[in-house]
Structure 1
Amino acid sequence: MPQIILGPQQHAPDIDGSVRGKAYAFLEKLAQDDTRPGLHMEPIGGSLDSRVRTGRVDQFWRAVLFKVQGQADAAMYVYLGVWPHDDAIAFAQQARLQVNPVNGIAELLLADGPAIGRGGSPSAPATAPAPDVPSDPLLVQLGHTASTLVEDLGLDPALVELAMEVRDPDEITVLAEAAAGWQGVALVDLVAGRSIEQVRESLGIDDAEPATSDDDATLAKALTHPASRMEFAFVEDDAALRRAIEDADFEAWRVFLHPEQRKYVERSWNGPFRLSGGAGTGKTVVLLHRARRLAREHPEARILLTTFNKTLAEAMQRDLRVLDPALAIAERLGEPGVLVRGVDAVARAVRQACSRTVPAAVTTVLGSRTSEVGQVTGRNAWRDAIATAGAGLAAELRSAAFFEAEYVTVVLPNRVTTYEEYAKVRRQGRGVSLDRQARSEVWKVVTAYRLEAGIRGSLDFSEAAAVSAEAVLASGDHPFDHVLVDEGQDLGPARWQLLRALVEEKPDDLFIAEDSHQRIYGHKVVLGRYGVRIVGRSQRLRLNYRTTAQNLRYAVSMLTGTEFVDLEDQAEDPSQYRSARTGPPPSLLQTGSPTAELDTAVAVVRTWLDEGVTPETIGLLVRSENAGERLVRALDERGIDSRFVSDKSLPAGKPVVMTMHRAKGMEFSRVLITGADAGSVPAAYALRDLPEAEREDALLKERSLLYVAATRARDELVVVWSGEPSELLPIIPEGA
């Protein structure tokens, strides 16, 4: 049967739903039998490429395709879209499908320009540099020449001619948007300082042999190249074909994969693997594709796709269904398919499935107490325990935040159940030192905390994860064959011990995605201390696909001057992150009063709506729920209907107001951050009563929270505040 391949669609005109339906029907028939006379598959006279065809969608619309003869009698049809009849003929005459002679990548070329991609033909850069831009072109400064870029990398000569004149990084981003997929990415990588060899490796062309032919067999092979598949998507079945054609947002359906990402989807590792990367680098996309691959290759495999909380898990399950509606989604532990749950929901399911071993697990983790674990310990439990048993504590230790951190990072993961054990345990990574007397006073509070929880039959979430880990180990059964983890930086020690227990130690057991710059919950963790041994199996993604270069640059500047370490206790450098998209610089708006701030926020939202921005793609981010409710009221009073979202699904047809924490994992076309003033960020309650040794980490999380909020913006970012700006907020110099 013929193979349908969806090629670059950006040259085709927008079509309405009825025409998309007809296009699907045409391609469905083509996929079944390309000899049907009703398809009118006709070669085009005067064309540059003898493989180009048009086919009849209806009396007015015609599809443009390339026919590439595959093995035996099977043919590949590369679909480029539908045009009115005469326009289809004109486009077909100037289009050519070829194999890049240097690297073996399949490319679409047009007669009037170089190989071009999403944005059309590149335009010439400015002839004179701005006053603050270096006089030498960027690529020249980096030691590149036009000949090496063309001959060693395979970039289009016309594109290289333009790129070699560029002095401003933002102009390179403009060229990258206009250039074909892999060529645009290569330009961004080169300007970021990567060598030609590194670019070739990241694109999967490090071992490429020059193409000596453009025959069908060579072209068919080229279409399967990882870099080609950035622009050419193989359709696997009729359901996928219908989604691709009838969904107006083709890119959203395809879930873009860079060759470097595809490598992490398809490779196998001899143990746990860690993939790090900044916001928008596609870590979650890799997880979704990897879960799908594992499930399709091993239909009986039990696969867990998990993350920090329920909201993010629900979003991943929705995206997984979009990616492949036919994928087997498990509903319970032990079922074949992909189970998508937040890690705390997994812990609860484990205790239900391993009820026989739970009582012993409770004793192992918490000592002698009731095995009743049906309730969740209240949020004020540490405060109450300090009031009950903390009279002998030094003033700097009378903090619920200190006890929560000590309990989660020292007591629970080491299964400490007595004072004698606590007096001897190592307290790695804790900033506050404790002598023997201090440990004695701390343990009195821990005992009071556990005693009250035992009376109530409750567990906190970390205790629940620790008990579940012990219950799994005691049962002797691992309920999963593969565990894939998103947002790993926000998981604490007990949750990592649970995840390690869920799957046997073997190849491809754990696959972890994380970004230390987005740690807004929990505490610093080193995986090796909790049985997850990476041992060199880690890589980092650096290319941002979501955020514009201007917004990314501003967001990264929020992290300047601070030190972040990853889950292997290695320093992370955000300066290497880069974007292949461009847009306006962030707008920073200072106002004189809270009322003026709300007026400004409303004016920004109204401007976006008047410009035709889809309402639900506008994200309004605040530091607290109270601030969110005030903003919703202000919008309502001024005639703009919005909704504050906490744990509900996003509303249709309304701008979305949510806290910065809730926005984790989301993205919006436009983002407005309000309340970025000195009194709100960092939040006073996040630092209140903390020992001095722990304030630095709390401030780091507040900085990360602001970074998370800023990187939710795809296209435009506005930050507004009243009074003095937050100390964590970079201020762009006037004229910059």
Structure 2
Amino acid sequence: MPTIIMTKWPVKLDGSVRAQAMAFLQKLSTDDTIPGLHVEPIAHSADPRVRTGRVSQFWRAVMFRLDSNGEPHYVIHGVWPHDDAIDVARKVRLSMNPINGLPQIEEVGPPPAPAPSTPQPAVPEPAVTELIASESEPLLTRLGRTRRDLVDRLGVPDDVADAAIVAPNEDALLALAMRHEGWLGLILLDLASALTVEEIIERLDLTRPAPESDSQDTELLESLQRPAARAQFSFIGDQDELRRVIEQGDFGAWRVFLHPEQRRYIDKSFKGPFRLSGGAGTGKTVVLVHRARALARRNPNARIVLTTFTTTLASALRESLAQLDPRVPQASELGAPGVYVTGVDALASAVIRGAGPDVGDAVRTVLGEDRSDPNGRVLSTSWRSALDTAGTDLPTEIANETFLAAEYGLVVLPNRVHSEADYLRVRRPGRGVALDRARRAGVWSLLGAYRSYVRVDGKLDFAEAAAVAGAHLQRSGPLADHVLVDEGQDLSPAHWQLLRALATEGSDDLFIAEDSHQRIYGPRTVLGRYGIKIVGRSRRLTLNYRTTAQNLRYAMTILDGADYTDLEESPESTGYRSARTGPAPRLVTVSSLTDELEAIAAQVSAWLDAGTPPATIAVLARDKFRCERLANGLAERGVAARIVDRDTLAAGRVSVMTMHRAKGMEFSKVVLADVGSQSAAEQQRLAELDGAEREDAELRRRSLVYVAATRARDELAVMQQQSEASLR
């Protein structure tokens, strides 16, 4: 049976043509001799391997036939109207780059203009010549690159090298990269970075291997399977996979075409816990979902847990795994073969439920006392209520729920402190507030008041539940062979103790994706303190696939001047780059709510009038109260908007949601509201904190705006309050 090799098609197709292309490729993958397919060579073509096939009376496929070991392989270049397809087929050529040995599709002569009926991209790519240089010499010259580096060492074609070497700045080089799919575009992106030519060669595996066969077709097929080639060419395993690729409007790029670095972390085996960091949009979650599938394929009996901080993100992971490959079994209960996808707090609850009566031993291990209803969870207001009933002489920077909840989660629970004597002895690494003996006694009195308050209902708070679940697993044994963790920066020490106990220690036990710049929930945590040793097994992704370079630059300014540390307690660097270009963010200074509502309504209306679907637009604010004001204000101004909390997006309405809720989501166009403003209640809460706690709250505040800004794929508008400079 023929093998189908898909590429990113240069011409996008509407739904009816995609269905016809699907039917054609299904038949082709079954038997390429079916008469109705009309698979035919083209006379006087630039490449004797080129073929055309009949998709319909009007549309034809252009492809290349490669034969190896008696089996045909078809590289599908795209689908065009009949006459254009013939023209493309005469000019197109599939060859192997003489320098790096990677496959390349070239056109001898100018390609035909797209058919009038073919939808065009909403945002045209800017021409390099339209980007005006402000620098005195081209970018690559300033970086010490030469044309010889590009052509003789990296394999960049002459015409592309000529354009790259004169590109005045990063935006111009990025615009050039966007016009070249696959490994060539990746090389151009890396040329704009601080990577040396040697590092680019190693990163993309550009060293041409010695041929293993005298057959040119076989050699080409081997080149098509190299990691850098897989960013543009994908071998399709069966018709179900073919259907999933075709039915996606963008041909499922995130599911099929991966950066060589991403693919490396999907398939590689590690001798212990591994950490993959990277900024927003660098593809960490994509790697996790693909890795879950790879582990399930490697061992169908493996117990795999895929988890993250919130239930919303867990639902998104579950849907992504099903979209990637519905044949991957998703386990319905913890400990069963397959991939069990859940939020980390729901995971703790599942462990506690499964423990049955034995959970009492774990509760006593963690708390030193019993709880009558360990399956129940206390209200989030319990700290405030407990403090209101307890008297203390401690200063407000200590006697507040922020400090005490952090002390409880970072010191008391992970160390299983049961008494004042235990607390007076326990170490408190990483806690910014020093406590002498008297103050420790006062803090323990307040912590004891909290425990007494929640003991009445017999329930556990979420941190206690995670600690209890971890303690039970330490007694009973692991329930998973592999644990994959997304958004690891937001997890608490008790979560990490639970996850460490959940997985059987050994190869590929824990795979952690995190970005310290996106920590908007949990406290700063060091994994080594909780039995998770990742030193020497950490890597970082730096290429952003979601948002444009212009939007990313704005987002990075939010982080400027702040010190972030990763899960190894090392300084977290940035250096992120985008694979896309677009318009600069629109920054609008507003001085009142009415002023802001008018500006947001005008911006959203302009996008809608330009044809942007409402469901691809989001307005993000920092809390639910602001969201309600925005949704009502937009409705009064004729913009159909809907507040999104736990509901799904509404197809005919603009989404209004909190910045927290938008975590893990993306939209074509985004408005950020209230940037730089602080309510009186928030100012009072910050004033009550100790300096270290206040600094950490400021980091999370910056991170929240950074997360929100990176939800925008194409366009970003920012409503800046007068105090926005406080974010910089």
Question: Given the two structures, how large is their TM-score scaled by the length of structure 1?
Answer: 0.94
The aligned counterpart of 1:147 is 148
1:344 partner amino acid: D
| Contact 2:352–2:375 (8 Å) recurs in 1 | no
Alignment of structure 1 residues 271-420 onto 2, 5 Å: 271-420=272-421
| Contact 2:272–2:508 (8 Å) recurs in 1 | yes
| Contact 2:101–2:208 (8 Å) recurs in 1 | no
Given the alignment of the two structures, is residue 695 of structure 1 paired with residue 680 of structure 2, yes or no? no
The aligned counterpart of 2:503 is 503
CA spacing shift, 1:728–1:486, aligned 2, 3 Å? farther
The aligned counterpart of 1:485 is 485
CA spacing shift, 1:286–1:188, aligned 2, 3 Å? same
CA spacing shift, 1:100–1:210, aligned 2, 3 Å? farther
Looking at structure 2, the residues matched to 595 and 555 of structure 1 have their Cα atoms a distance apart, in angstroms, of 26
Given the alignment of the two structures, is residue 87 of structure 1 paired with residue 57 of structure 2, yes or no? no
216-225 or 136-145, which moves further after superposition? Answer: 136-145
| Contact 1:299–1:337 (8 Å) recurs in 2 | yes
CA spacing shift, 1:540–1:681, aligned 2, 3 Å? farther
| Contact 1:358–1:471 (8 Å) recurs in 2 | yes
1:76 partner amino acid: H
How far is the alpha carbon of 1:209 from its aligned partner?
A: 5.0
Looking at structure 2, the residues matched to 727 and 680 of structure 1 have their Cα atoms a distance apart, in angstroms, of 16
Looking at structure 2, the residues matched to 122 and 600 of structure 1 have their Cα atoms a distance apart, in angstroms, of 27
Looking at structure 1, the residues matched to 58 and 369 of structure 2 have their Cα atoms a distance apart, in angstroms, of 79
CA spacing shift, 1:113–1:572, aligned 2, 3 Å? farther
Question: Structure 1, residues 653-687: CA drift from partner, whole Å, max 9, x if none?
Answer: 22111101111111111010011133359943662
The aligned counterpart of 1:709 is 708
| Contact 2:280–2:544 (8 Å) recurs in 1 | yes
2:83 partner amino acid: D
Identity %: 51
CA spacing shift, 1:263–1:61, aligned 2, 3 Å? same
| Contact 1:66–1:97 (8 Å) recurs in 2 | yes
530-539 or 210-219, which moves further after superposition? Answer: 210-219
How far is the alpha carbon of 1:591 from its aligned partner?
A: 2.3
| Contact 1:663–1:712 (8 Å) recurs in 2 | yes
Looking at structure 2, the residues matched to 725 and 46 of structure 1 have their Cα atoms a distance apart, in angstroms, of 68
| Contact 2:273–2:537 (8 Å) recurs in 1 | yes
Looking at structure 2, the residues matched to 124 and 632 of structure 1 have their Cα atoms a distance apart, in angstroms, of 38
Looking at structure 2, the residues matched to 183 and 451 of structure 1 have their Cα atoms a distance apart, in angstroms, of 64
1:81 partner amino acid: G
630-639 or 429-438, which moves further after superposition? Answer: 630-639
Given the alignment of the two structures, is residue 32 of structure 1 paired with residue 30 of structure 2, yes or no? yes
How far is the alpha carbon of 1:205 from its aligned partner?
A: 2.5
The aligned counterpart of 1:733 is none
Looking at structure 2, the residues matched to 43 and 245 of structure 1 have their Cα atoms a distance apart, in angstroms, of 24
The aligned counterpart of 1:77 is 74
How far is the alpha carbon of 1:349 from its aligned partner?
A: 0.5
Looking at structure 2, the residues matched to 665 and 256 of structure 1 have their Cα atoms a distance apart, in angstroms, of 20
2:3 partner amino acid: Q
CA spacing shift, 1:413–1:34, aligned 2, 3 Å? same
697-706 or 674-683, which moves further after superposition? Answer: 674-683
SS in 2 for 1:362: helix
Aligned residues between the structures: 719
CA spacing shift, 1:629–1:74, aligned 2, 3 Å? same
Aligned partner (choices 45, 60, 64) of residue 62 of structure 2: 64
CA spacing shift, 1:415–1:122, aligned 2, 3 Å? closer
1:68 partner amino acid: L
How far is the alpha carbon of 1:147 from its aligned partner?
A: 1.1
Question: Structure 1, residues 118-160: CA drift from partner, whole Å, max 9, x if none?
Answer: 9999987449954xx2212111122111012111111111111
Looking at structure 2, the residues matched to 482 and 407 of structure 1 have their Cα atoms a distance apart, in angstroms, of 29
Looking at structure 2, the residues matched to 187 and 16 of structure 1 have their Cα atoms a distance apart, in angstroms, of 30
Given the alignment of the two structures, is residue 665 of structure 1 paired with residue 664 of structure 2, yes or no? yes
How far is the alpha carbon of 1:214 from its aligned partner?
A: 8.2
SS in 2 for 1:414: coil
2:717 partner amino acid: V
Looking at structure 1, the residues matched to 198 and 672 of structure 2 have their Cα atoms a distance apart, in angstroms, of 40
Alignment of structure 1 residues 212-227 onto 2, 5 Å: 215-227=216-228
Looking at structure 2, the residues matched to 127 and 653 of structure 1 have their Cα atoms a distance apart, in angstroms, of 36
| Contact 1:376–1:459 (8 Å) recurs in 2 | yes
The aligned counterpart of 1:734 is none
CA spacing shift, 1:473–1:127, aligned 2, 3 Å? closer
CA spacing shift, 1:250–1:579, aligned 2, 3 Å? same
CA spacing shift, 1:311–1:355, aligned 2, 3 Å? same
Looking at structure 2, the residues matched to 202 and 681 of structure 1 have their Cα atoms a distance apart, in angstroms, of 50
How far is the alpha carbon of 1:371 from its aligned partner?
A: 4.3
The aligned counterpart of 1:591 is 590
625-634 or 269-278, which moves further after superposition? Answer: 625-634
| Contact 2:396–2:688 (8 Å) recurs in 1 | no
Looking at structure 2, the residues matched to 674 and 215 of structure 1 have their Cα atoms a distance apart, in angstroms, of 58
How far is the alpha carbon of 1:452 from its aligned partner?
A: 1.8
SS in 1 for 2:429: coil
Alignment of structure 1 residues 41-120 onto 2, 5 Å: 41-70=39-68, 72-112=69-109
406-415 or 96-105, which moves further after superposition? Answer: 96-105
2:457 partner amino acid: R
How far is the alpha carbon of 1:245 from its aligned partner?
A: 2.0
Looking at structure 2, the residues matched to 179 and 33 of structure 1 have their Cα atoms a distance apart, in angstroms, of 32
Alignment of structure 1 residues 614-633 onto 2, 5 Å: 614-633=613-632
Alignment of structure 1 residues 569-580 onto 2, 5 Å: 569-574=569-574, 576-580=575-579
Alignment of structure 1 residues 176-191 onto 2, 5 Å: 176-191=177-192
Looking at structure 2, the residues matched to 301 and 590 of structure 1 have their Cα atoms a distance apart, in angstroms, of 54
How far is the alpha carbon of 1:695 from its aligned partner?
A: 0.6
Q: Which runs of 5+ in 1 are unaligned?
A: 731-736
SS in 2 for 1:58: coil
22-31 or 278-287, which moves further after superposition? Answer: 22-31
Looking at structure 1, the residues matched to 131 and 379 of structure 2 have their Cα atoms a distance apart, in angstroms, of 64
SS in 2 for 1:675: strand
284-293 or 639-648, which moves further after superposition? Answer: 639-648
SS in 1 for 2:676: coil
CA spacing shift, 1:540–1:447, aligned 2, 3 Å? same
How far is the alpha carbon of 1:348 from its aligned partner?
A: 0.5
Given the alignment of the two structures, is residue 600 of structure 1 paired with residue 599 of structure 2, yes or no? yes
How far is the alpha carbon of 1:302 from its aligned partner?
A: 0.7
The aligned counterpart of 2:473 is 472
Looking at structure 2, the residues matched to 174 and 113 of structure 1 have their Cα atoms a distance apart, in angstroms, of 19
SS in 1 for 2:456: helix
The aligned counterpart of 1:540 is 540
Looking at structure 2, the residues matched to 680 and 46 of structure 1 have their Cα atoms a distance apart, in angstroms, of 72
| Contact 1:271–1:506 (8 Å) recurs in 2 | yes
SS in 1 for 2:674: coil
The aligned counterpart of 1:566 is 566
Looking at structure 2, the residues matched to 229 and 682 of structure 1 have their Cα atoms a distance apart, in angstroms, of 52
Question: Given the two structures, how large is their TM-score scaled by the length of structure 2?
Answer: 0.95
Looking at structure 2, the residues matched to 252 and 681 of structure 1 have their Cα atoms a distance apart, in angstroms, of 46
How far is the alpha carbon of 1:535 from its aligned partner?
A: 2.4
CA spacing shift, 1:412–1:89, aligned 2, 3 Å? same
1:636 partner amino acid: A
Looking at structure 1, the residues matched to 670 and 257 of structure 2 have their Cα atoms a distance apart, in angstroms, of 23
| Contact 2:480–2:503 (8 Å) recurs in 1 | yes
249-258 or 184-193, which moves further after superposition? Answer: 249-258
CA spacing shift, 1:527–1:252, aligned 2, 3 Å? same
The aligned counterpart of 2:114 is none
Q: Which runs of 5+ in 2 are unaligned?
A: 112-119
| Contact 1:159–1:179 (8 Å) recurs in 2 | no
Looking at structure 1, the residues matched to 254 and 141 of structure 2 have their Cα atoms a distance apart, in angstroms, of 39
CA spacing shift, 1:364–1:32, aligned 2, 3 Å? same
The aligned counterpart of 1:727 is 725
CA spacing shift, 1:681–1:711, aligned 2, 3 Å? farther
Looking at structure 2, the residues matched to 602 and 669 of structure 1 have their Cα atoms a distance apart, in angstroms, of 17
1:726 partner amino acid: E
How far is the alpha carbon of 1:198 from its aligned partner?
A: 1.1
SS in 1 for 2:640: coil
676-685 or 439-448, which moves further after superposition? Answer: 676-685
